[in-house]
Amino acid sequence: MNGPTNEAPATAAAAARPANRLAREKSPYLLQHAHNPVDWFPWGPEAFARARAEQKPIFLSIGYSTCHWCHVMERESFEDAAVGRYLNEHFVSIKLDREERPDVDKIYMTFVQSATGGGGWPLNVFLTPDLQPFYGGTYFPPESRYGRPSFRQLLERIVELWGTRRADLVESARDTTERLRGMASHDPDNAFPAGERELHGAGQTFLTEYDPAHGGFGGAPKFPRPSVPLFLLRHGSRFQDPQAFQAAVHTADAMAAGGMNDQLGGGFARYSVDERWLVPHFEKMLYDQAQLVTLYLDVFQLRGGEPHAAAARETLRYVLRDMTHPEGGFFSAEDADSEGKEGKFYCWTLAEFKALLTPEELAAAVRHFGVGAQGNFHDHSDPDPLPGQNVLSIADPKLSDSEQAWVASARSKLLTARARRVRPHRDDKVLTSWNGMMLGAFARAGVILGQPEFTAAARRNLAFLRQRMWEPATGTLHSRWRDGHRDDVQLLDAYANLLAGVTDLYEATLDPDVLQFAVDLAESMMLRFHDAKAGGFWQTAEGAPDLLMRSKDDYDGAEPSGNSVAALALLRLAAICDRKDWREAAEKTLRLFAQRLHQTPHAVPHLLLALDFVLQEPRRVVLAGDPASDGTATLLQAVHSVFQPHRVVLGHQGPVDPFARTLLVGKEHTQAFCCTGTACQPPTRDREAVRQFLTGAP
C-alpha cells in the first residue's frame, strides 16, 4: 500500500500516556483506546466480576476503528483526564468492537433504538452488574448541545440515580430485558408466506421510496444497501416490471458516478451525506465493496456495458491493492479521517489541480470531475475545516476522444500525487463473515468478466480462511483473525456468509473440493445454530456465557442478516446437492419470518431474495467433463453471462445431486445438460444453446 498510513487516529499526547489493559487486545478499535486515562476493560468476565464485586454500574461503549464520531468522542471525552478519573471512580468501563461482537452490539443497539427512536455509533449504554441496560444513547458532546446533555452531566446524573434510586433502576432494567426478549421472539406457527403476493408488495414498497431524480431510496443520508436494488432486479424479472429495472440500474449508475465512488482509486465509501451521492462519509467498509460488486455484476449480466463492468473491476482492484493481506485475507475497513481531517486523503483544491496538470488536462479534468474554487465539501464536525475541498465525481461524462485522453492522463497524475499523502487508518483485522462476502464477489467477477486473476484471489482467500479460521476436526469456524491470533467467538454471520461465498466459488469453478468444503460448512452451521423446533438460526452458538439473551437476527441493513444469507445459501446448495433437509430448513426460516416479509419488507430485502428463489424451480446446468478444461471454462462463461437468478450450475463430481453423477461424461469435450426438475435436454456443447435455455421461458 503506497504512502504513509495513520495506524491509529489517537493524538500523540494520548499515545504518550501509560497503557491501560486494552493494550493486550488485538482489535484495532480497542487498541486506539489503549492510552486513554479511562480504566477500560474488554468485554468479558473480568469486567463483569469487578462490577458485581464493587456494585458499580457498567458503562459500555461500543464502536469500531473507522468510526468518525467514535474518534470525535474519544478526543473530546475519553482522552480528558477529569472524565477518566470520574469514570474510574464511579463505573466499570468496557470498550467493545461491534465488528468483532455483532451479537453483543445487536442486543444493546436494539435497546437504544427502542428507547430513543434512533441508533448508531458510538453506542454508549449503562448496565447493571447483571448486564441489563437501563439508559443509553449514541454520541454525547463535551458540552450541552444538539439537544443532548454533556457527557459529564450525564455521568453525574447516572451516579446520582445509582446512589439514590438504585432499586428503581434495577427494576426498570429487568423490565427492559424482558421486553427485549419478547421483541426477539418469533411465532414458529406462521403460515408459509403466500409467495408472489409478498414479492410483488415488497417491490411496490421499494418503488414508492425510490428517488427518480438521483437514484437510491429515501432522502439524505443515503446508504447503498445493495440488497434493495438486487431484489428489484429479481422483481423486474419475475413481474416483467421495467420500473423495477430502471430503479435498480439508475441507482447503480448514480452511485458509480457520485463522489461516494472513489473516482481515482476505486472502492465505495460507506454512505452519502446528501441525496445526490456526491459527498460521502469517507470510510470504506469491506462489506460494502463485496455487496456493490455483486450488484454491478448483476447489472452487467442484465444490461452489459463497460461502465458497470468497470465499477466492479475497479472496486476489486482497490481491494487487492489496499485491503489484502499478503497471504490472501481481506482487511476490514479504511477510516474517513487522515491527519485528523475527514476526507483529507480524497479531496482536492482547484489550486492543487492547477499545480499538477497541464492546461489541457486541467480544463478537461475540472469539467469532468466537477472541481471549483469554493469546493463542494465542508466538514461541519470540524471546528477548523479545510477550505475549498472538492470531492471528485463524474459531473460531466460527455468527453471527446481527446478529452478522454487528457482526463486519463490527469487521473494518473492525481493518483500518483495522492499516493504520497498520509493514508487513512486501516483496520487490518480479518473477519470471516466479510471475507465470505468478498470471496463470493471475486469468484463471480472472475467468471463473469473473464478475468482469472479475480478467481485466483478468491481461491487464495479461501485457502487463507481454511488455514487460519477453520478447524476441520471439530467443524469450528472462527470469526476474527489479526496479527497471528484468532478469536473463539462462534457467530452465524461467519458461517452463513462464508457458505454463500464458497458456493459462489464452486459455481464459478466446479471444483469438487470447494463443494465438499461448502457441504462441511453447511453441516456445521446447521448443527451449531439451527433451531430445529421453531425454525430459523440463532445468531450465536448455544452456551455463550456473556450474552443477555440469544436472538435470531432478521434485519438486512448495511449487512444482510445471518438468517437471510443462510436461507438463500442453503436453498442454492440444496439444489446443487439434492439435500431436502437444507431446503426444509430454509423454508422453515422463511416461515418463521413470514410476518416480517409481509408487513415490513423494507426490513428484510435480502430475505426476499431467498423467498424469490424458493418459489421457482431452479434451472440446472450440469457440466459433465473435466472442471479444469477449456471446454468447461467456455460453458461456465456462457452460464454466467446471463442474468438468471433462478439457476444453479454444477459438475458431475463430488457431493452433487446423485442424478448429475449418472450423466454421460464426454471423453474429449465437456457436455452441458440443461435440466428443469427431472427433465433434461439432450447434451450440448453450444454456448448459445445454454444461454437460450437460461433466458427462455421455463
Find the CATH number of the domain harbouring 680: 3.40.30
- Domain boundary among the residues 615, 643, 673 is at 615
- pLDDT number for residue 627: 92
For residue 440, the domain's CATH number is 1.50.10.20
Q: Answer yes or no: are the C-beta atoms of 656 and 693 closer than 8 Å.
A: no
Name the grid cell of 49: 466480576
3-class SS of residue 637: helix
Give the residue, 675 or 184, on which the prediction is more confident: 675
CA–chain centroid gap for 619, Å, is 29
pLDDT of 305 higher than 60 = yes
Residues 139 and 69: their CA atoms lie apart, in Å, by 7
Residues 617 and 692: their CA atoms lie apart, in Å, by 17
Asked whether residue 501 falls in the same domain as residue 565, the answer is: yes
Asked whether residue 101 falls in the same domain as residue 78, the answer is: yes
Q: Is 340 left (phi over 0), alpha (psi -120 to 50) or beta?
A: left
Asked whether residue 20 falls in the same domain as residue 166, the answer is: yes
Read off the pLDDT band of 194 (50, 70, 90): low
pLDDT of 652 higher than 70 = yes
pLDDT tens for each residue of 32-43? 999 999 999 999
Exposed, middle or buried, 612 (CB in 10 Å: 0-12/13-18/19+)?
buried
Does a structural domain hold residue 287? no
Asked whether residue 527 falls in the same domain as residue 385, the answer is: no
Instruction: Compute the average pLDDT of residues 378-407.
Output: 93
pLDDT of 11 higher than 60 = no
Asked whether residue 373 falls in the same domain as residue 404, the answer is: yes
- pLDDT number for residue 1: 42
Q: Residue 665 carries which DSSP code?
A: P
Predicted model pTM = 0.95
The sheet with strand 671-676 has its strands ordered as 647-650, 619-624, 671-676, 679-680
- Domain boundary among the residues 183, 202, 236 is at 183
Does a structural domain hold residue 315? no
- pLDDT number for residue 7: 47
258-272, 348-362, 474-488, 676-690: segment of lowest average pLDDT: 676-690
pLDDT of 555 higher than 50 = yes
Of 601, 645, 79, 687, give the one whose Cα is nearest residue 340: 79
Q: Residue 651 carries which DSSP code?
A: -
For residue 151, the domain's CATH number is 3.40.30.10
Asked whether residue 669 falls in the same domain as residue 588, the answer is: no
Asked whether residue 394 falls in the same domain as residue 445, the answer is: no
Residues 270 and 280: their CA atoms lie apart, in Å, by 7
Exposed, middle or buried, 21 (CB in 10 Å: 0-12/13-18/19+)?
middle
Q: Range of 679's domain?
A: 619-695
Q: Answer yes or no: are the C-beta atoms of 28 and 8 closer than 8 Å.
A: yes
How many H-runs (helices) and E-runs (strands) does the chain carry? 27, 21
pLDDT of 200 higher than 70 = yes
Does a structural domain hold residue 584? yes
Name the grid cell of 616: 421457482
The alpha helices in 79-164, defined as continuous H runs, are: 81-90, 102-116, 151-164
Asked whether residue 51 falls in the same domain as residue 125, the answer is: yes
Does a structural domain hold residue 242? no
Q: Give every CB contact of residue 164 below 8 A, 6+ residues apart in sequence.
A: none
- Other CB atoms within a 10 A radius of the CB of residue 690 amount to 26
pLDDT tens for each residue of 485-539? 999 999 999 999 999 999 999 999 999 999 999 999 999 999 999 999 999 999 9
- pLDDT number for residue 10: 52
pLDDT tens for each residue of 430-467? 999 999 999 999 999 999 999 999 999 999 999 999 99
pLDDT tens for each residue of 319-366? 999 999 999 999 999 999 999 899 999 999 999 999 999 999 999 999
- Domain boundary among the residues 125, 151, 183 is at 183
Instruction: Compute the average pLDDT of residues 407-435.
Output: 97
Q: Answer yes or no: are the C-beta atoms of 312 and 297 closer than 8 Å.
A: yes
pLDDT of 179 higher than 70 = yes
Read off the pLDDT band of 6 (50, 70, 90): low
Asked whether residue 100 falls in the same domain as residue 42, the answer is: yes
Q: β-pairing, 480-482 with 430-431?
A: antiparallel
- pLDDT number for residue 677: 80
Q: Residue 698 carries which DSSP code?
A: -
Asked whether residue 179 falls in the same domain as residue 109, the answer is: yes
Q: Residue 210 pairs with which residues in a beta bridge?
A: 217
Q: How many domains does the chain have?
A: 4
pLDDT tens for each residue of 58-102? 999 999 999 989 999 999 999 999 999 999 999 999 999 999 999
Of 257, 565, 298, give the one whose Cα is nearest residue 441: 298
Backbone angles phi, psi at 527, to 5 degrees: -65, -40
Asked whether residue 590 falls in the same domain as residue 659, the answer is: no
Residues 359 and 82: their CA atoms lie apart, in Å, by 55
Q: Give every CB contact of residue 500 below 8 A, 6+ residues apart in sequence.
A: 436, 437, 440, 565, 568, 569, 572
Does a structural domain hold residue 336? no
Does a structural domain hold residue 331? no
Does a structural domain hold residue 308? no
Instruction: Compute the average pLDDT of residues 423-433.
Output: 97
- Other CB atoms within a 10 A radius of the CB of residue 200 amount to 14
Asked whether residue 474 falls in the same domain as residue 509, the answer is: yes
Residues 530 and 528: their CA atoms lie apart, in Å, by 6
Does a structural domain hold residue 238? no
pLDDT of 171 higher than 70 = yes
Residues 591 and 231: their CA atoms lie apart, in Å, by 19
Q: How far is CA 310 from CA 19, 502, 647, in A?
A: 46, 24, 25
Q: β-pairing, 485-486 with 619-624?
A: unpaired
Q: Answer yes or no: are the C-beta atoms of 236 and 224 closer than 8 Å.
A: no
